Amino acid sequence: MHSARPMTREALQAALERADDHEEWVRVLADYFDAAGLFYGHGTDNAGDEAFWLIRHLQGWREGAFEAKPDASLAGTAAEIAERRATLRKPLAYLLGEAWFAGLPFHVDENVLIPRSPLAEVIEGCFAPWVAIEPGVRILDVGTGSGCLAIAAAVHCDGVIVDATDVSKAALAIARRNVERHGVADRVRLIEADLFPSARERYRVIMSNPPYVPARQLESLPPEYRHEPALALVGGETGVEPAERLLEAAGDWLEPGGILLVEVGAEAEPLIERHPRLPFTWLELERGGEGVFVVTAEQLAEYRERSR
């Protein structure tokens, strides 16, 4: 329901204090979010999930807390955060300093893109059926940001060794905190680099959620995106420049049988148009998301040979 005038913070707080259960908290907060015309897509895709996330966060994700009677003393903080979410159009993850990805909590701030890649599904499945993953297998995450893809791989795939690059020192500092938080410092190495590390290692998987928004489109994205680092969003004029750099060079860092796995979202079409002879495999993802491709080391080598 869209009300003509947004509810004040005081009214929102009062409505929460009156509520009998947390289902009602979700309804009240979701109505407030919807009335504010928010954009969802930085961790959730609807107002109800956004409300649930806020409530559970304030409860410290304590088991049973959501089912228990609401603690009225949380109403003030909830209303205050909801108001900032609505007026600043700042993604909830930044307001809470935390985002969930692949079932894991990650520390985030405005130096890193909010974790949300559909690659989570592929990582949780340990890259099946594309490659076999066993302990000791090396994986490279290009443009790691918060470290979410790299850390998720280290946590979900037993014994893998992950290198993760980023060109942003500030992002790497956040990634460092997340590596420590998840206790994977012995298997995740963070490297400051523009795409590829300087040491010529060989990887079974190179994965990336590179920036892929065409420069001219940034302005037209919902206001929530303006809080994210442009560096992590804008993929040059065309949007596909970073993806093309990956396609061009990945072969030199992949072991035989390895794969390049990249998210390019809505830029899939332009990428296909520019590379009609590259045999991309576009993934069908159970949990949704589009524009994720796999190409094998062999396909990359053959493509490179033919384009010579």
Alpha-carbon span 252 to 259, nearest angstrom: 12
Enumerate residues 6+ apart whose C-beta is below 8 A from 56. 65, 66
Alpha helices in the chain (DSSP H): 9-18, 22-35, 47-58, 75-88, 92-96, 119-124, 148-156, 169-181, 230-233, 241-249, 268-274, 297-307
Which tokens in the block code for residue 269?
């079409």
* Residue 271 binds to ligand GLN (criterion: CB under 6 A): no
| 134: number of Cβ within 10 Å | 11
Interface segment toward ligand GLN; rule CB under 6 A; list 60-68, 82-90, 206-214, 269-277: 206-214
For ligand GLN, which is the closer residue by CB, 144 or 209? 209
- Judged by CB, which is closer to ligand GLN: 25, or 212? 212
Give the residue with the Cβ less far from ligand GLN, 112 or 233: 233
Among 111, 144, 165, 209, binds ligand GLN (CB under 6 A): 209
Does 265 interact with ligand GLN (rule: CB under 6 A)? yes
Taking the CB of residue 120, how many other CB atoms lie within 10 A of it? 22
- Cβ within 8 Å of residue 99, ≥6 positions away: 42, 43, 93, 105, 106, 108, 114, 115, 116, 146, 148
Residues 6+ apart with CB under 8 A from 179: 147, 151, 185, 188, 190
Contact 133, 160 (CB under 8 A): yes
| Of positions 213, 250, 262, 294, contacts ligand GLN by CB under 6 A | 213
Using the contact rule CB under 6 A, the part of the chain among 58-66, 151-159, 180-188, 210-218 near ligand GLN is 210-218
Q: Is 233 a residue that touches ligand GLN (CB under 6 A)?
A: yes
Task: For ligand GLN, give the closer residue by CB, 33 or 212.
Answer: 212
- 100 is a site residue for ligand GLN (CB under 6 A): no
Residue 48 sits in the site that holds ligand GLN (CB under 6 A):
no
Q: Which is nearer to ligand GLN, 116 or 204 (CB)?
A: 116
Smallest gap from residue 233 Cβ to ligand GLN (A): 5
Tokens 């001219």, located at residue: 216
Produce one character per residue of 43-74: b if its CB has 16 or more CB atoms within 10 Å, e if not: bbeebbebbbbbbebbbeeeeebbeeebeeeb
Residue choice 17, 27, 41, 167 for contact with ligand GLN (CB under 6 A)? 41
- Binding flag, residue 147, ligand GLN (CB under 6 A): no
Beta bridge partners of 139: 162, 205
Q: Which of 211, 250, 262, 293 binds ligand GLN (CB under 6 A)?
A: 211
- Binding flags for ligand GLN, 166-205, as an x/- string (CB under 6 A): ----------------------------------------
Query: Total number of residues binding ligand GLN (CB under 6 A)?
Result: 8
212 near ligand GLN (CB under 6 A): yes
Stretch 102-121 residues interacting with ligand GLN (CB under 6 A): 116
88 Cβ contact list (under 8 Å, min separation 6): 227
Shortest distance (Å) from residue 307 CB to ligand GLN = 26
- Min dist CB 12 to ligand GLN, Å, is 28
Residues that bind ligand GLN (CB under 6 A): 41, 116, 209, 211-213, 233, 265
